[in-house]
Structure 1
Amino acid sequence: MSDVQFDTPILPTRPCRVRRVSADGARDHEDLLATEVPVALVFNGLSHVVMMCSPLDLDDFALGFSLSEGIVGRREEIFSIETVERAAGIELHLELASARFSALKERRRQLTGRTGCGLCGVESLQQAIRPVGHVGQTLQLAPGALGRALAELETGQTLAMETGCTHAAAWCAPDGSVVAVREDVGRHVAFDKLIGARAQADWGAGFALLSSRASYELVHKAAAVGIELLAAMSAPTALAVELAQASGLTLAAFVRKQRYGLYSHPARVPDSAPQH
């Protein structure tokens, strides 16, 4: 099997010839495909993890992943981020504060060789379910905010409109207006990109809207960085709901323009139905 090699520079999309077949016959077209690239996060020279990503907003991803996974507690603990393109993918080199890097090395040492539950090398299921603190209690949405956010997100997914194959994460103001959108082939990566962008901007109060389902990992990332409300277009998992309830986070799912479900802490969202 030959190794996959990427062109330089690595672009978010690439053209592809496709034969489309329907009841009307077969025709050749040129499609745009979303690029999926291995991205390695390297902390102080130590390779930590490789993720499959869309090659855009990677500085946001590096910062957001570091924050949501507890590698750093604030962005000032990352001194620099350097992007290095290789033939087989991209490396993101981060220089951490020495105390944070020492803690990361200790965590890696404790995980080495442990395969008890088969998840990330942790020793037990209790270690797999990582605790988080309580989020704040200051957010209050305007009536119709979730529906407005969904409508704006649908028009703000540039990469998805071109390729039809990426997830999106949006930061939305309390009235539902979309402040920023990050996209990626991976839903976790899209959310990490949004978390990283938020850590560098003064967007003020608001909530996160995801184009995907709401899994435990996504709720955990939201709670870890103090997001009070997470909204998802698809279903939540049972563990995601449990974590949202325990952390004080409002979890909305099956979000549509005129309906949604509130699975935890509904007081941040008005009871009245969205008005259109």
Structure 2
Amino acid sequence: MTQRRRVLRRSPEPKTRIETLAVEEPLEIRVAALPAAGIAAGGAPVELRPPSTTVTTTMRLPGDDFDLALGHLLAEGLIGEAEDVATMMHCTDTAEDGSPTFNVVEVTLAAGVSLRRPVTARTEVATSACGVCGSTRVEDLIATLPPGLAEDAARVPLSRLHEGMAAMRERQKVFGDTGGVHAAALLDPQGRLLAVREDVGRHNAVDKIIGWAGREGRLPLRGHVMLASSRAGFEIAQKAAVCGVPVLACVSAATTLAVEVAEESGLTLAAFVRGDRATVLSHPGRITD
């Protein structure tokens, strides 16, 4: 997840030192239907490997790749539940020097399952900052929001948000080493920190949390709180709403479209959750003193 490089620091005098940098590499997510049975020349059944479709290629911090792949499929509404996936595996692709990179995840869907909507044509690699690159319309993603989130009766003390942010920060190892990655975390209804994931992309960190929750059988995340060490953009609010979490708390500012998604879906969105304050922009009744 990190590399050490010799750098020149000017502060103001020049000084050579060793700096720790966060690794950023592409991850290609491919999806295939369950292999179909075939008949060999001698009459014996064989397994035919199905063709796969590239869903996305995103720049990410290596690690927790299966969580990222599963979370991405769930958050973009390409599958309905974690059980739609039969297997996930790394394809051993190679770098120019012939060394393995493990930058491709092959997802095989369960028997009888297909992607719930066509894969949007993408004309370029999604950067680590873009969660919805290549989507034809923002409305397509808003349409994936599940009903019923507004009825979630969760009540969260403001102090729990601040305690959760502090606990998340303590577990941001790569950020502590590099200062160059985002994090997302999940609190259970009692306020216990369940998982923390880091990534160079804020949306990837959220996908990793959703994927973890899917693998653990926790979706939808009723009564839970999602934390993000970033601003609250549209893609973060949309992903939180899709996984059914009632409260999203972010360290930095929110955008207008994020607030629109939160209001429409029933998500409580809190921005500037730092120090002893928070700015609650939608459905404020869930945040108590």
TM-score bracket relative to the smaller structure: 0.7 to 0.9
SS at match of 1:16: strand
Q: Distance in 2 between matches of 1:19 and 1:260?
A: 39
2:206 corresponds to which of 170, 173, 191 = 191
Deviation at 1:26, TM superposition (A): 1.9
Deviation track 1:114-152 (CA, whole Å, cap 9, x = no partner) reads 9xxx96262x56446545233141311135111111111
Q: How do residues 164-183 of structure 1 correspond to structure 2 at under 5 angstroms?
A: 164-174=179-189, 176-183=191-198
Give identity over the alignment, percent: 34
SS at match of 1:196: helix
Q: Distance in 2 between matches of 1:200 and 1:112?
A: 28
Q: Distance in 1 between matches of 2:79 and 2:154?
A: 25
Q: How do residues 1-276 of structure 1 correspond to structure 2 at under 5 angstroms?
A: 12-23=1-12, 25-44=13-32, 45-88=52-95, 89=101, 90-97=103-110, 99-101=112-114, 103-104=116-117, 107-108=118-119, 111=120, 120=134, 122=136, 126-127=139-140, 129-134=142-147, 135=149, 136-174=151-189, 176-201=191-216, 205-270=223-288, 272=289
Aligned pair count reads: 251
Deviation at 1:100, TM superposition (A): 3.9
Q: Distance in 1 between matches of 2:31 and 2:227?
A: 29
Q: What amino acid is aligned across from residue 64 of structure 2 in structure 1?
A: D
By percentage of residues, which structure has more helix?
1
Q: Distance in 2 between matches of 1:97 and 1:162?
A: 39
RMSD over equivalenced CA pairs, Å:
2.3
Q: Distance in 2 between matches of 1:36 and 1:51?
A: 10
Point out where structure 1 has 5 or more consecutive residues left out of the alignment: 1-11
Deviation track 1:4-39 (CA, whole Å, cap 9, x = no partner) reads xxxxxxxx111111111113x222111111111110
- 1:152 and 1:177 in contact (8 A); partners too: no
- 2:142 and 2:238 in contact (8 A); partners too: no
SS at match of 1:236: coil
SS at match of 2:15: strand
After TM superposition, the score normalised by the length of structure 2 is 0.80
After TM superposition, the score normalised by the length of structure 1 is 0.83
Q: Distance in 1 between matches of 2:281 and 2:171?
A: 26
